[in-house]
A and B are shown apart, each in its own frame.
Chain A
């Protein structure tokens, strides 16, 4: 896989002494959708701003398309697009003129056909003569996307693309982003909606307090860190577990009325679900009757929450499950 963006040792300390990024290393591959996941204030926006030219890094290097950003900023920037988090643009401008302006600003000749295509794809063509301030919030965000796409960037940053957008528009936005990938655009999006990363991303990076905690393929991350959790309601409360049952990663909860299983490989019916099937057979063999089984896979959200709770949080759960 060919890297499109390589960040090495990126640090940013603001004037007030606040360090937003602490030696970030990150490689983004060409053509992928990468989701940078983290709570508010984790450094997501600063990281994007450093690549897009709004923030001067304190130290570290950024290479885009194999070129050093600091040295070849003109050629590099002309191939990067940015959709900011805030709805910030001249609201009195009509849509079409604003999008044309963006193309011109990046030094490209007018291309009415291409701009029409972009506006149509984002369902903005009918609104092309409307002042941006008259549009709904979701439409305004789409205008910002159109503006970012106007110069046909190969690498697109979306900073919280669906913040404050209703469910339907969010799904719509995801579809748009998927279409971009089909066209070969590399997309880096920041979000604190885990669902979004789960839905869209090929790879996920988790950032907390200016440090990248983990970067992995979404499915690999879920397989590696995911857990199967099964709650088996027992017909009779148990005081202690018989030998064959105790071999499983189980514990008795709710005063011995519920057997809780935590373990396995997570998503896709890995070893976890198999394990639970075996467990139920062993329960039957041991003559332990049960009335209900509630089984579920942990989501990216659980993984995320665990990571953010700190290394201790992860270790604790691992220990419990093992």
Chain B
């Protein structure tokens, strides 16, 4: 008896990706458009008027690319994964998953893998689109890819938990809209936290998204407000916590099995 059923996992993964392409307008085009608007307004229009040649020798338009990319990745990974598991719970079609010989491994690879893949596709499209409006470079392409992958996977896991916890569509949108978006805006997407006046700089460091934004910015421009090792370490820790929590969900059946 196998412990992991690769075919089941692949089936879920394929299904979830197909669902994304079926709703491509909403799940791909909309976030790309929103992010592009940021590039145009903040990067090209306002950034061009800024004196002093940007932040730390990086033009303002380029400076905000990693942060904006992260803003989209956090929001989309979370909401994609949460909708992926919430919808079957909502419609009742989850009976099939629950009655199938499928465990936590297959479910995670399927649902979270598909959500993370979507985020990677989205990241690629956004980076290509951004290059049309601002000049940016990537100092550490390998790390950049790794970091994007890590963030996509972690927040897809978070989204999966959210989708299992939520018992209404409202709760589903609360976390991305009311928690992730403000934290990302305040997490140094549009500015360097080193430029903040003193009490606020320390306060900003309590925001975990600061470490994500700066981690990704380091892979682009080799500069960061916080140590890069700490950024990667914290992200891995977050991922591990999510995995442990999901394993607990499957063991106890919390919100899945009555």
Chain A positions within 8 Å of B, measured between CB atoms, are: 14-15, 49, 52-56, 72-75, 77-78, 80, 82, 84, 86, 88-92, 97, 101-102, 104-109, 147
10 closest cross-chain pairs (CB), A and B: A88-B92, A104-B11, A107-B5, A78-B101, A52-B99, A74-B101, A77-B101, A88-B93, A89-B93, A105-B100
Q: State the CA gap A82–B10 with chains docked (Å).
A: 22
Given contacts A84-B92, A105-B11, contact A77 B100 (CB under 8 A): yes
Picked from A75, A82, A104, A147, the residue with its CB within 8 Å of the CB of B7 is A104
Specify which chain A residues have a CB less than 8 angstroms from the CB of B101 in the assembled complex.
Answer: 73-75, 77-78, 106-107
Shortest A83–chain B CB gap in Å is 10
Interchain CB contact (< 8 A) of B15 among A75, A101, A107: A101
Closest to A147 in B: B96
Question: Are B98's CB and A53's CB within 8 A?
Answer: yes
How far apart sit A78 and B99, CA to CA, in the bound complex (Å)? 8
Q: Is B8 an interface residue (CB 8 A)?
A: yes
The answer to whether the Cβ of B128 comes within 8 Å of any Cβ in the partner chain is no
In the bound assembly, the distance between CA atoms of A89 and B15 in angstroms comes to 13
14 contacts between A and B (CB under 8 A): A53-B98, A53-B99, A89-B96, A101-B11, A101-B15, A104-B7, A104-B11, A104-B14, A105-B97, A106-B100, A106-B101, A107-B8, A107-B101, A108-B7
Q: Are A56 and B253 in contact (CB under 8 A)?
A: yes
> Are B91's CB and A88's CB within 8 A?
yes
Residues of chain A within 8 A (CB-CB) of B99 are: 52-54, 77, 80, 82
Number of interface residues of B (CB under 8 A): 30
Contact across chains for B11 and A89 when beta carbons are under 8 A apart: no
Contacting residues, chain A, for B93 (C-beta < 8 A): 88-90
B12 CB-CB contact with A under 8 Å? yes
Instruction: List B contacts of A108 (CB < 8 A).
Output: 7
- A55 with B257: CB separation less than 8 A: yes
Q: Which B residues are in CB contact (< 8 Å) with A101?
A: 11, 15
Q: How far is the CA of A104 from the CA of B103 in the complex (A)?
A: 14
Q: Within the assembled complex, what's the spacing in Å between the Cα atoms of A145 and B19?
A: 23
Using a CB–CB cutoff of 8 Å, the interface residues on chain B facing chain A are 1-2, 5, 7-8, 10-12, 14-15, 18-19, 22, 87-88, 91-93, 95-103, 253, 257-258
B29–chain A nearest beta-carbon distance, Å: 18
Residues of A within 8 A of B98 (CB): 52-54
Which B residues are in CB contact (< 8 Å) with A102? 96
Q: Which of B7, B19, B96, B98 has the most CB of A within 10 A?
A: B96
- Residues in chain A near residue B88, CB distance under 8 A: 90
Given A105-B97, A105-B100, A109-B7, A89–B253 Cβ distance below 8 Å?
no
Chain A residue contacts of B87, Cβ below 8 A: 90
Chain A residue nearest in CB terms to B91: A88
Chain B residue at smallest Cβ distance from A151: B100
B258 near A55 (CB under 8 angstroms)?
yes
- The answer to whether B100 touches A90 (Cβ under 8 A) is no
Nearest neighbor of B253 in chain A, beta-carbon distance? A56
Nearest chain-A residue to B88 (Cβ)? A90
Q: Is the CB of A82 within 8 A of B95?
A: yes
The answer to whether A105 and B102 have CB atoms under 8 Å apart is yes
A56 is contacted by which of B14, B18, B103, B257 (Cβ under 8 Å)?
B257
Residue of A nearest to B10 (CB): A104
Query: Which residues of B lie under 8 Å from residue A52 when comparing CB positions?
Result: 95, 98-99
Q: Which of B1, B2, B22, B96 contacts A105 (CB 8 A)?
A: B96
